[in-house]
Structure 1
Amino acid sequence: MTTHLHPDERQRLDMLRTALTHDFEVHTARLTQLTADTGDPGEAHTRSALIAATRQSLDQVTDALRRIAEGRYGVCERCAAPIPAERLEVLPHARFCVPCQQKHAG
C-alpha cells in the first residue's frame, strides 16, 4: 500500500515516522530513567504509575510505526475505513475511527 502513495502522502508518512521514532526514543530514555532505583520508597507508587504510562506510550508508538511499515497506517482496525487525517494529527497512534473507538471503549 505505501508503494502507491502520492508523493505528498509519502512525505507526510515520512515526517510522521520521524516524529514517532523521536517519541519512541524519548519514551525509552524516560523508561530507563524511571526504572533506575532511587532508593526512595516514598516514590515507588508514583514511579510505578509513570512506568506503566510510559510503557503504554511506547507500545502505542511501536504499533503505529509497525502499521506504517506494513502499509496499514490510517485504516480503522475494526471497520477498515480510513481514519480522518484530523484524528491522526491529534492522536497519531489511533487504531480506530471515532465511531469504532466509541464502540470499543463503550
Structure 2
Amino acid sequence: MTIDSTIRASLSEDFAVQTARLKELTEINADTGDPAQAHDRAALLAATRQSLEQISGALRRIADGTYGLCQRCETTIPEERLEVLPHARFCVPCQQKHHG
C-alpha cells in the first residue's frame, strides 16, 4: 500500500500540535487547590499522551511499511477508515473483537 504523503504530513502536523499541547500542560504550575481543575488537567495530560502514542505508532508503521495493515488479521485496512482515523491499528471487525 502506498502511503499518501498527505496522511504522513497530517500525522506529523498532529504530532507537533499534540507535543506543543503536552509541553504547555506540563509547564502549567498554577495549582489553584481546586480538585476538579486538577482532575481535568490530569485527564487532558493523559489524553494528550495517548494521542501522541497513537500518532507515533502510525508514523512508525509508515516507516516500517506496515501502515494500513491490521495488526491482528493482517488484512488491508480500508482507506476510508484510515482517512477518518489515520492511526487505526485494526480493521473494523478486529477492532470490534478487540474492544468487545
TM over 0.5: yes
Q: Specify the alignment match of 1:40 in structure 2.
A: 32
Shift of residue 41, structure 1, vs aligned partner: 2.7
Runs of 4+ deviating beyond 2 Å: none
Matched positions, count: 97
What TM-score does the superposition give when structure 2 sets the normalisation length?
0.92
Q: Aligned match of 1:29 in 9, 20, 27?
A: 20
Q: Which runs of 5+ in 2 are unaligned?
A: none
CA distance in 2, matches of 1:55, 1:30: 10
Taking the aligned partners of 1:83 and 1:70, their CA distance within structure 2 comes to 16
RMSD of aligned residue pairs (Cα, Å): 1.1
Among all aligned residue pairs of Structure 1 and Structure 2, give the percentage whose two residues are the same amino acid.
60
Listed one character per residue, the Cα deviations across residues 62-102 of structure 1 (whole Å, up to 9, x for unaligned) are 00000000000000000000000010011000000000000
Between Structure 1 and Structure 2, the one with more helix by share is 1
- Gapped regions of structure 1 (runs ≥ 5): none
Q: How does 1:1-106 map to 2 (within 5 A)?
A: 9-10=2-3, 12=4, 14-36=5-27, 37-42=29-34, 43-106=37-100
